[in-house]
Structure 1
Amino acid sequence: MSGGNLVGLVGRDRLRLARLGALLGVGVLALAACAQAGATTTARPMRGPSSSATPVTPSATPTAATRAASPSPTPSPSIGEGEGTLRVLTFQGYVEYGGTSSQVNWLTPFERESGCVVKLDRVRTSEEMAVRFATGAYDAVSPAPDLAGLLVAQGKVAPLETALVDDYRRIPRRLRELPGLREDGKVYGIPYLWGVNRVLYEEGRPEGPSALYETSSAAIRNSPLSIADAALALGGRRPGSKTEDPFQLTSAQLDAALRLLAEGEGPDRVYWDGSLDLVRALSAGPVRIAQALPYHLDLFRRAGRPMKALEGVPMTGWVDSWMLAAKPASPNCGYRWLNWVSSASAQRPAAAWTGLAPANPEACGGHARRMCEIYHVRDSRWLRDVVFATRPTRDCGGRGGECTDYTEWAERWKQLLK
């Protein structure tokens, strides 16, 4: 799954979800309570991103922050003086400044502490982010895996000096070392938020993940990367069909996954883009099985709906990270930003607001505690069943061979939805 296709899944829909509860009969008070649990953060009501902050004089000479580094660099000098302004591109809901709610603001504390005024642009999809990043002069960007791999391959983002990011080592090694965030021994991304795709059902227990595709009364996330979930399910259903990496498929494996996806195609099938679509499908329509997030399972359970999740099966997941542009105008502010977004102080409210898991386990307190519990953040055994997304590439993720790339996945997905 791409975080880009689930952007703002709580922040964007929170109030509408609560209002929708009454209409759909799922318990408006329970839904509202669930929404409010994530909406309140520990951040104080503060200024928005356009508020004034005392600018600092730009550094005359870039510091060590601008140099490429290996994942385990030798100690480096501290970050130099900030340049005064930082251009940030992210997904809706990933950075809040009090505009949605005065109680939801983890941007202004950064501005006050760093002296760097953030010029914030937010998008809803990876496609929109790719266009904006290509045409705008941004310093920092938070791409989903489908875009992150492309930016690294194209040289559009810079290798990072991880010694300048204080909390980098607090992030679990498995998240830090995902292929999409590293190349040739260099680190390009700092993990921020992550999620997992699960199969939710209401009645009976499906024999396996492939049950999601065998009926038209199903809700499937609208993303080309959902093909990987079908490939993973196919491996459990047909002997000899198991793939080494469901995000790196040969032409034959891609065909097989798409055949499974089309198997139960019918008028009742829903391809959902946002939480509101999914809630509506499971609450008012014939859909009784869905590809969804742990957050959705928690939401329905707290609303009194007997939803369950298929346990003990492989799952796909994704990690959204922060990267710096190849030639940032404000590298020092950029490293101050990486320090902030990797800290528990920033990831705690971000996780609570988005309904996703924080990459830094130290954030698992306060209002983010519930998110950490439902995503099993500290349970390494549970997380062994998660295959985290990377961008599909023709060289099979650098392992050699002939695989299909993301462009082909996107085209085949469009054909499926016609």
Structure 2
Amino acid sequence: MKNKLMAISATAAVSALMLAGCAAPAAEEGSGELVFDVPDVPMLEELGEPEGQVDIIAWSGFVEPAWADTFTEETGCVVNRRVAGTSDEMVQLMRTGDYDLVSASGDASLRLIVGGDVAPINRDLIPNFGDDIVPGMQGQIYDTINGNVYGVPIGRGANILQYNSEVVTETPTSWDIVWEADSPYAGQITAYDAPIYIADAAVYLMYHQPELGIQNPYALDETQLEAAVDLLKQQNGIVAEYWADPVAQITSFVGGTTVAGTSWEILRKLAADDRMQGTLPQEGSTGWADAWMISSQSDAPNCAYLWMDYTSSAEVNGAIAMNFGMAPANGAFCELNDEAAAHCEEFNALNEDYFENVWYWTTPIEQCIDGRTDVKCTSFQDWTNAWATIKG
């Protein structure tokens, strides 16, 4: 077990809020901005001597020898990698105190911040976290709280509508083929298997049932959550498979079990099957944006900061993005060569108009992040409870 860099007190009130999924922020009077009740975790003020190693939890493809070995040669920090398969696993592992860094998605970030599991980032110590980081990955609510930055952007992507072009012969313009009970592809639909998928239903309802008043798919009051759950239960009747494992999702599509459903852009490429096509329908979609976050208990903060800076350079950030299959955070990568430019074009790296229609995963919390103050929104725990009822 790592020696703790600092101790964080846990009052009964904070514990109760954490059990609800995430602590509720309060609105600062007269500011119009959300202010979160989060632990006061100190930020590293200056770099010291590297500690010799850094322990990282990451998605598969984010920490590879091709760049990790070079980092070790340059800094003396040996990289110890632990691959995680889900955001829940990342949160659980970070709370052990055994790791220095995590490549967190937005459905984990707020949980880590409010739990006191991660520390604010000192951007002055990360020169590569500069003007070349695309604007759409800065200042987002999933990792920028009370004016403090908690995440160093890595990359982003949309959850697209994937379809088998031999069966779905015209490019879909709407998500209706995966949500409506009378879909011509009923019984051949695939859906993402996680509570955060409730937001996908909310995105669809925002467009087709505006009377529900949904302004942000991660800010659902009880009535709005009930409507989303009802839609998901309806979809359950036409779903062939739910997926969390990308390999299983590809196998299902290639084998013909499923012909349409939510997917990641990279899965089409991994499948190497021309029948698998993808589109961003008129309703928009959910998506994800990943960022490095440093543990509040890190015993190697200097190596951790060196890693965040190293991987934020155009070359290394681009290598990670190409390896994983996503839009890089450092837009300068797109100008390095023709291969980089082609990758950025394919994944809409510099196309902010495209990502304006993408709602990045954000942990649901009781404070409505759409700005409403007259109701209480549902928490991540509420969503987890609801998800358990959807598949029957």
Same fold (TM over 0.5): yes
1:411 aligns with 2:385: yes
CA shift, 1:153, in A, is 0.9
Aligned residue type for 2:114: A
1:336 aligns with 2:297: no
Q: 1:175 aligned to 137, 147, 150, which one? A: 137
Kept in 2: contact 1:85–1:118 (CA 8 A): yes
Provide, for residues 168-218 of structure 1, a one-character-per-residue CA deviation record: whole Å limited to 9, x for no partner.
122122211111111111111111121111112332454622331223321
Q: 1:89 aligned to 38, 50, 57, which one? A: 57
Residue correspondence of structure 1 range 7-86 to structure 2 within 5 A: 68=43, 79-86=47-54
Residue correspondence of structure 1 range 330-369 to structure 2 within 5 A: 330-364=300-334, 365=336, 368-369=340-341
- Whole-angstrom CA distance in 1 between matches of 2:161 and 2:134: 25
CA shift, 1:377, in A, is 0.8
CA shift, 1:233, in A, is 0.6
Residue aligning to 1:142: 103
Structure 1: gaps of 5 or more residues: 1-65, 70-75, 98-104
Residue aligning to 1:184: 146
Kept in 2: contact 1:87–1:118 (CA 8 A): yes
Aligned residue type for 2:217: P
Partner SS state of residue 80, structure 2: strand
CA shift, 1:297, in A, is 4.1
- Whole-angstrom CA distance in 1 between matches of 2:274 and 2:92: 42
Residue aligning to 2:183: none
Structure 2: gaps of 5 or more residues: 1-40, 181-185
Residue aligning to 1:211: 177
Aligned residue type for 1:91: W
Q: Which moved more, 1:146-155 or 1:289-298?
A: 289-298
Closer/same/farther in 2, CA of residues 116 and 288 from structure 1, 3 Å limit: same
Kept in 1: contact 2:171–2:279 (CA 8 A): no
Percentage of matched positions with identical amino acids: 29
Residue aligning to 1:155: 116
CA shift, 1:268, in A, is 4.9
CA shift, 1:165, in A, is 0.9
CA shift, 1:130, in A, is 2.0
CA shift, 1:406, in A, is 0.8
Q: Which moved more, 1:154-163 or 1:203-212?
A: 203-212
CA shift, 1:354, in A, is 1.2
Provide, for residues 329-369 of structure 1, a one-character-per-residue CA deviation record: whole Å limited to 9, x for no partner.
12221211110121222222211221122111223356554
Q: Which moved more, 1:165-174 or 1:306-315?
A: 306-315
Residue aligning to 1:234: 205
Partner SS state of residue 236, structure 2: coil
Kept in 1: contact 2:265–2:278 (CA 8 A): no
Residue aligning to 2:351: 379
Closer/same/farther in 2, CA of residues 412 and 370 from structure 1, 3 Å limit: farther
- Whole-angstrom CA distance in 2 between matches of 1:108 and 1:306: 35
Closer/same/farther in 2, CA of residues 145 and 310 from structure 1, 3 Å limit: closer
Kept in 1: contact 2:254–2:273 (CA 8 A): no
Kept in 1: contact 2:189–2:238 (CA 8 A): no
Count of aligned positions: 338
Closer/same/farther in 2, CA of residues 404 and 349 from structure 1, 3 Å limit: same
Kept in 2: contact 1:210–1:230 (CA 8 A): no
Partner SS state of residue 292, structure 1: strand
Q: 2:364 aligned to 392, 398, 407, which one? A: 392
CA shift, 1:150, in A, is 0.8
Kept in 2: contact 1:160–1:186 (CA 8 A): yes
Aligned residue type for 2:223: A
Partner SS state of residue 95, structure 2: helix
Aligned residue type for 1:208: S
- Whole-angstrom CA distance in 2 between matches of 1:398 and 1:255: 18
Q: RMSD over aligned Cα, in angstroms?
A: 2.4
Partner SS state of residue 191, structure 1: strand
Q: Which moved more, 1:363-372 or 1:166-175?
A: 363-372
TM normalised by structure 1 equals 0.75
Q: 2:247 aligned to 263, 276, 281, which one? A: 276
Kept in 1: contact 2:236–2:390 (CA 8 A): no
Partner SS state of residue 93, structure 1: coil
Partner SS state of residue 82, structure 2: strand
Residue aligning to 1:200: 162
Residue correspondence of structure 1 range 245-264 to structure 2 within 5 A: 245-264=216-235
